[in-house]
């Protein structure tokens, strides 16, 4: 039997933030073995570093950003400091799809996509890239359905978002309720938020280890092309779920 595991890291702010990387990600299979090896080799060195460098930790008054702040503590000094943002780390990302929908107000504004470190001495972390986008106030479609808070304009806006994407020659791929934000207080009530699989129609493919626990449309398999018809099939399912929820609410 194959044992699966995860390596989790946390950021301590006012609360503990733990990004989760599933073993179903394409690169995880080999990375996990490498991570265990690095952990074994580095624990002693890290302890020694802290014992000898406690006085050299970051001083907020120092003009040079400390390397613990990636890409740097002042990467986005004025534009987004007053607002909430989301930072995620990815090995693949449909940046063109994100920009296309963001320009049409169907996705959060994208502030940055690129290497984690931006200076000439930055440490490269394989194919890992950083994404910085606006934080969206609202509910995921999953939660909105549970709470019966899907606005009447939602279906129209979702259809418009997918039409906008397909019209640009792009596909989304993972069009499911957890990846759709409902924003009932905004003029546009839909925001798509997960573009890890998105990309150019005819070029992007599904991950090799795509989950078998999800009821995917016909033709969806690992390493197979992501097609528009898959997006449309997922869209039809979502519309049916929303209409069913609306009908139940009327009956209540």
Alpha-carbon gap, residue 20 to 6, rounded angstroms: 8
Alpha-carbon gap, residue 109 to 106, rounded angstroms: 9
pLDDT digits 0-9 by tens, 135-175: 999 999 999 999 999 999 999 999 999 999 999 999 999 99
Predicted local distance difference test score (pLDDT) of residue 111: 93
φ/ψ (deg, to 5) at 249: -65, -40
On the question of pLDDT at 2 being above 50, the answer is: no
Q: Which residues contact 142 (CB under 8 A, 6 or more apart)?
A: 177, 178
Predicted local distance difference test score (pLDDT) of residue 67: 47
What confidence category does residue 1 fall into, taking pLDDT thresholds of 50, 70 and 90? Answer: very low
As a whole number, the mean pLDDT across the chain is 82
Q: Which of 169, 162, 165 is nearest to 200 (CA)?
A: 169
What confidence category does residue 58 fall into, taking pLDDT thresholds of 50, 70 and 90? Answer: low
Burial class for 112, CB neighbours closer than 10 Å (0-12, 13-18, 19+): middle
H helices of the chain, in order, are 28-53, 95-103, 141-146, 154-167, 228-251
């Amino acid at each position: 039997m194959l044992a699966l595991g995860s390596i989790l890291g946390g950021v301590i702010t006012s609360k503990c933030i733990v990004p989760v990387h599933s073993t179903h990600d394409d690169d995880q299979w080999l990375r996990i073995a490498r991570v265990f090896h690095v952990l074994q080799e580095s624990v002693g060195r890290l302890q020694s570093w802290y014992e000898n460098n406690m006085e050299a930790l970051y001083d907020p008054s120092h003009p040079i950003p400390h390397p613990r702040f990636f890409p740097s503590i002042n990467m986005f000094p004025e534009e987004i400091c007053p607002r909430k943002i989301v930072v995620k780390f990815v090995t693949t990302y449909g940046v063109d799809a994100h920009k296309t929908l963001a320009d049409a107000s169907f996705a959060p504004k994208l502030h940055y996509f690129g290497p984690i470190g931006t200076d000439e001495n930055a440490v490269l972390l394989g194919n890992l890239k950083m994404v910085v986008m606006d934080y969206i106030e609202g509910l995921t479609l999953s939660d909105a359905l549970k709470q019966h808070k899907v606005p009447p304009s939602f279906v129209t806006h979702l259809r418009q978002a997918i039409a906008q994407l397909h019209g640009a020659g792009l596909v989304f791929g993972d069009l499911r309720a957890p990846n759709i934000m409902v924003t009932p207080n905004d003029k546009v009530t839909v925001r798509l938020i997960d573009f890890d699989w998105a990309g150019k129609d005819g070029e992007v493919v599904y991950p090799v280890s795509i989950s078998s626990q999800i009821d995917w449309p016909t033709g969806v398999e690992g390493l197979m092309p992501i097609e528009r018809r898959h997006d449309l099939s997922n869209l039809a399912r979502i519309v049916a779920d929303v209409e069913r929820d609306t009908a139940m609410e009327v009956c209540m």
